[in-house]
Structure 1
Amino acid sequence: MSLELDIMEIITNAGESKSEAMMALHHAKRGEWDLCDDALTRSRDAASRAHAVQTKLIGIDEGEGKIPVTLVMVHAQDHLMTAMLANELIKEMIEVYRHKVY
Structure 2
Amino acid sequence: MDEKMIEISFGIIGFAGDAKGLAFEAIKEAKNGNIDDARACIEKSKESIHKAHKFQTELIQNEASGNKTEMSVILVHAQDHLMTSMNFQQLAEEFVDLYERLESK
Q: TM-score, normalised by structure 1?
A: 0.92
- The answer to whether the Cα contact below 8 Å between 2:31 and 2:99 also exists between their aligned partners in 1 is yes
Partner secondary structure for residue 69 of structure 1: coil
2:47 is matched with 45
Q: 4+ runs of 1 displaced by more than 2 Å?
A: none
Aligned equivalents of 1:63, 1:77: Cα separation in 2: 20
**Which residue pairs with 2:32 in the alignment?**
30
In percent, how many aligned pairs have the same letter?
Answer: 31
How far off its partner does 1:64 sit? Answer: 5.4
Match of 1:100 in 2: 102
CA-based RMSD: 1.8
| 5+ long unaligned stretches in structure 2 | none
Length-normalised TM-score, structure 2 = 0.90
The one-letter code of the counterpart of 1:10 is I
Distance in 1 of aligned mates of 2:80 and 2:67? 19
Specify the alignment match of 2:13 in structure 1: 11
SS of the residue corresponding to residue 100 of structure 1 reads: helix
Larger displacement relative to structure 2 (66-75 or 32-41): 32-41
In 2, distance between residues paired with 1:12 and 1:19?
A: 11
Task: Specify every segment of 5 or more residues in structure 1 that has no aligned partner in the other structure, as ranges.
Answer: none
Q: CA deviation at 1:34?
A: 2.1
Provide the rounded CA distance (Å) in 1 between the counterparts of 2:93 and 2:37. Answer: 14
Equivalent residues in 2 for 1:60-75, closer than 5 Å: 60-62=62-64, 66-75=68-77
Aligned residues: 102
